[in-house]
Amino acid sequence: MLCALSWNSVLAQKTTITVAAFPAVDEIVKASLQEWQKKNPNVEVKVVGREYADHHTAMTTALATATGLPDVMTIEYGYLGRFAQSGGLEDLDKSPYKLSQYATKMVPYAMAQGRSASHGQVAIPTDIGPGAMFYRNDVLAKAKVKESDLTQSWDSFIESGLKIKQATGAHLVAHARDVKDIVIRTGIPEGEGVYFDAQGKSVIETSPRFKRAFEVAQKIRVQGLDGKINAWSNEWGEALKRGTVTVQMMGAWLGGHLQNWLAPNTSGLWRSTALPERIATSWGGTFYAIPKKAVNKDLAWSLVQHLTLNSRQQQMAFEKFNAFPALIEAQNGDFFNQPVSFLGGQKARLEWKQTASQIKPTMVFKNDSVAEEIVNAELDLVLNKNKPIDQALKDAHRLVQRRASR
Amino acid sequence: MKPMLKPALAPYVLISPFLLLFLVFGLFPIVFSFVLMFHMWDPVQGLASMEYVGLENITFAIEDPLVWTSLGNTLWMALASGMPQHLVAIPLAYLINEKMGRWRNAAMGAYFLPYITSTVAIAIMFSTLFSTDYGMVNAALAEMAKWPLLTAVLPAENIDWLGSPEAIKPVVSAVVFWRYLGFNVILYVAAMQSIPRDLYEAARMDGAKSWQQFFFITLPQLKPIMFFGVTLTVIGGLQLFEEPFILTGGKGGPEYAGMTTAMYMYRTAFDFNDFGLASAISWMLFVIILLMTVITNKAFKSKEGQA
């Protein structure tokens, strides 16, 4: 019997589950392990961290060949549309997971993003990116522009940009495309995606969102209000450091990046506010999924629950890694009420929380990334070559539809 | 002592490591991509989701405006980066071979360095050099624009090297030229060293000057290696991927001006999850490369015939 016991413990010790993740989710998982392993002392967790694009390529290959699949797969929002429709991920609403019983605990739009029409709840959100407008308070003060001028309407936003340019020479935004990206996400009817309707047909030509987005972006370019700078480029980093770009609209997580490495020298100069016209939209977000071919699904689910439904873990991830909690309960901690010194003592987290609660769910589609690409190229033509907007949208629609109907 | 392997078996066993690696990493991908060309396949749905669609991928690729844009870009950049590689490498190699004396190896090493430098380092270096507002290239241009004669020629504003559709192709071509010049220099220096010295001696005795020796001895003698070098450049140029990929952040740049066919193929597969179409594009590219190589071959052959 002793022999059997020791054999059992050897077997138990050997259980290893794998989590595949990209930065900084891999760090978050590692930091959360200690507590989970107290309850699961015989389980070893192997965290395989890869760079963002490499991770998703590796997961694509793993799903394609059904080999090398992790027990827990991390998926970024940008890849969710493609992965959700793969059919290779567990429907977490079904037994034994029964995620639906916890559904109300999570931010609704993020839960909806993890759902696929044909395969159910294939992913559970862990962090979200409520959209925010970060602006240089010092530049606004110099140009005598108020925060409300930026948020009131796109017209007043552009007017403020002109004032800022006159008074300080700084650009309003990094790239006119950034503005387009927000306007096309304004007022998406329920059940539709950004580019496609519920039937998967392109709405680029017919939806007024796109026409308006292109018009606002064009106005910004014509008035010389954008720096023609792509996000995450060297120029962008320098512009944020030097204050030559006044406003940056992005997920609330940008605050952490600004503070930690993008522009640490600008502490106290930035503020965060709602997007123009107080649009509530989101930038990215991270999800966990369990592949159907995973070996240790029970343990994987236990770990995923620990990472997503445990308030303490969610708060830890926010405090240490700027991962905004998808768990509503975790948005009530003390940390949310604390002033953010980098943002001049603003209680910005409360505002982000409010934005998160207002975001409407949008559907994700397999061809979203192609559509985004095509729309961006047509916008380039409008901005650089004065291509008529109607023609650009018509061409974009035709190209997207061509892909989507395959 | 008895041999461990039977003599009849030995060759097969000894060649098997290569053969296995070739089968797995060489032949299999080629065959698989050929099969894929006739299938619709979204990889995340697993192998079982492959669906036979006949020639649909090929017709889609032929009618895809982006394929043609990318092909145009590829040809542009292959020509703009490839031609100067040889036009500069040959005289440079001659200079290094004839005039550098004991510094010859050092000079060759210096020119070869970019070829073996990591792509990431190159990416960081060139995106910093070509930065619009803070880059050295624009800083130098701005400084030069102050000189009296150059004021009229040089632009008054900073050039958006990596962000404007007009500038991205020349920038990528310049980087490719910089990267592969050294490789060609080495090729030509090696070829020049194999030209018999007595040809030069005889020419000198007949009173041939240095430039005459270059044009009438060196150049004709280099023809076989020129054919080799140009063929490599044609193939490499048409498969251009790394440099435009890193300089445009993997997206192809504004208005797709920096997107090569190889990049579009990669993006179709890994960004748009359409492996069937990507395979069709890759085979299209293969046919074009084959054609161009044949044309290069013909061009060199006919000249040889004339000579």
Q: Kind of pairing, strands A44-49 and A16-21?
A: parallel
A249 DSSP β-pair partners: A133
**Burial annotation A168-188 (CB, 10 A radius, 16+ → b, else e):** bebbbbbbbbbbbbbbbbbeb
- Whole-prediction pTM: 0.87
Q: Which pLDDT belongs to residue B2?
A: 75
Q: Does residue A6 register a pLDDT over 60?
A: no
**Percent of chain A's residues with pLDDT above 70:** 97
Q: Which pLDDT belongs to residue A1?
A: 47
3-state secondary structure of A16: strand
Which helix or strand (DSSP H or E) is residue A20 part of? strand A16-21
- Cα A43 off chain centre by: 31
Q: The complex's ipTM?
A: 0.83
Q: Which pLDDT belongs to residue A149?
A: 96
Q: Do A64 and B47 touch (CB under 8 A)?
A: yes
Q: Which pLDDT belongs to residue A9?
A: 52
Q: Do A367 and B272 touch (CB under 8 A)?
A: yes
A16 vs A82, more confident: A16
Provide the pLDDT confidence category of residue B163 given band limits of 50, 70 and 90. Answer: confident
CA distance B301 to chain A (A): 43
pLDDT, tens digit (0-9, with 9 covering 90-100), for B8-34? 899 999 999 999 999 999 999 999 999
Q: Do B254 and A380 touch (CB under 8 A)?
A: yes
- Window 76-115 of A, Cβ < 8 Å to B: 82-83, 85-88
Provide the pLDDT confidence category of residue B302 given band limits of 50, 70 and 90. Answer: low
Q: Which pLDDT belongs to residue B88?
A: 96
CA distance A42 to chain B (A): 32
> B59, B67, B246, B273: best mutation site toward chain A, by most A Cβ within 10 Å?
B273
Which helix or strand (DSSP H or E) is residue A207 part of? none
Q: Does residue B58 register a pLDDT over 50?
A: yes
- Window 236-255 of A, Cβ < 8 Å to B: 238-239, 244
CA distances from A381 to B70, B164, B166 (A): 16, 11, 12
Q: Do A63 and B272 touch (CB under 8 A)?
A: no
Q: Which pLDDT belongs to residue B43?
A: 86
pLDDT, tens digit (0-9, with 9 covering 90-100), for B212-265? 998 999 999 999 999 999 999 999 999 999 999 988 888 888 889 999 999 999
* Interface check A118 vs B, CB under 8 A: no
CA distance B244 to chain A (A): 15
The whole-number average pLDDT for the span A127-145 is 96
> Which residues in chain B are contacts of A82 at CB distance < 8 A?
42, 44, 273
Phi (first) and psi of residue A340, to 5 degrees = -95, 110
Q: Do A235 and B133 touch (CB under 8 A)?
A: yes
Q: Which residue has the tokens 């007595």?
A: B198
Q: Does residue B178 register a pLDDT over 80?
A: yes
pLDDT, tens digit (0-9, with 9 covering 90-100), for A76-99? 998 998 888 878 899 999 999 999
The whole-number average pLDDT for the span B64-92 is 95
Q: Which pLDDT belongs to residue B45?
A: 83
CA distance A87 to chain B (A): 6
Q: Does residue A375 register a pLDDT over 50?
A: yes
Report angle CA A121, A126, A132 to the nearest 5 degrees.
Answer: 115
pLDDT, tens digit (0-9, with 9 covering 90-100), for A147-156? 999 999 999 9
pLDDT, tens digit (0-9, with 9 covering 90-100), for A326-368? 999 999 988 999 999 999 999 999 999 999 999 988 888 888 8
Q: Does residue A11 register a pLDDT over 80?
A: no
pLDDT, tens digit (0-9, with 9 covering 90-100), for A215-267? 999 999 999 999 999 898 888 999 999 999 999 999 999 999 999 999 999 99
Angle of helix B275-306 relative to helix B261-270, nearest 10 degrees? 160
Provide the pLDDT confidence category of residue B307 given band limits of 50, 70 and 90. Answer: very low
Amino acid present at B97: N
Interatomic CA distance for residues A183 and A279, integer angstroms: 9
Contact B202, B217 (CB under 8 A): no
Q: Do A63 and B43 touch (CB under 8 A)?
A: yes
3-state secondary structure of A401: helix
Q: Is A247 exposed, middle or buried (0-12, 13-18, 19+ CB in 10 A)?
A: buried
Q: Do A88 and B131 touch (CB under 8 A)?
A: no
Provide the pLDDT confidence category of residue B148 given band limits of 50, 70 and 90. Answer: confident
B119 vs B50, more confident: B50
3-state secondary structure of A283: strand
* Interface check A399 vs B, CB under 8 A: yes
CA distances from A157 to A220, A298, B282 (A): 10, 51, 46
* Interface check A405 vs B, CB under 8 A: no
Q: Does residue B162 register a pLDDT over 90?
A: no
* Interface check A66 vs B, CB under 8 A: yes
Q: Which pLDDT belongs to residue A65?
A: 87
**Considering only CB atoms, which residues of chain B are within 8 Å of chain A?**
40, 42-47, 49, 56, 60, 64-66, 127-128, 131-134, 160, 162-165, 249-251, 254-256, 270-274
> Which residues in chain A are contacts of B249 at CB distance < 8 A?
230, 232-233
The 3-state secondary structure of chain B reads CCCCCCCCCHHHHHHHHHHHHHHHHHHHHHHHHHHHCCEECCHHHCHHHCEECCCHHHHHHHHCHHHHHHHHHHHHHHHHHHHHHHHHHHHHHHHHHHHCHHHHHHHHHHHHHHHHCCHHHHHHHHHHHCCCCCCHHHHHHHHHCCCCCCCCCCCCCCCCCCCCHHHHHHHHHHHHHHHHHHHHHHHHHHHHHCCCHHHHHHHHHCCCCHHHHHHHHHHHHHHHHHHHHHHHHHHHHHCCCHHHHHHCCCCCCHHHCCCCHHHHHHHHHHCCCCHHHHHHHHHHHHHHHHHHHHHHHHHHHHHHHHC
Q: Which pLDDT belongs to residue A12?
A: 52
Q: Which of B65, B132, B270 sits opposite A60 (nearest CB)?
A: B270
Q: Do B249 and A369 touch (CB under 8 A)?
A: no
> Which residues in chain A are contacts of B255 at CB distance < 8 A?
377, 380-381, 384-385
Q: Which pLDDT belongs to residue A8?
A: 53
Q: Do A229 and B163 touch (CB under 8 A)?
A: yes
Q: Which of A82, A381, A385 sits opposite B273 (nearest CB)?
A: A82
Amino acid present at B184: N
Which helix or strand (DSSP H or E) is residue A66 part of? none
Q: Which pLDDT belongs to residue A309?
A: 96
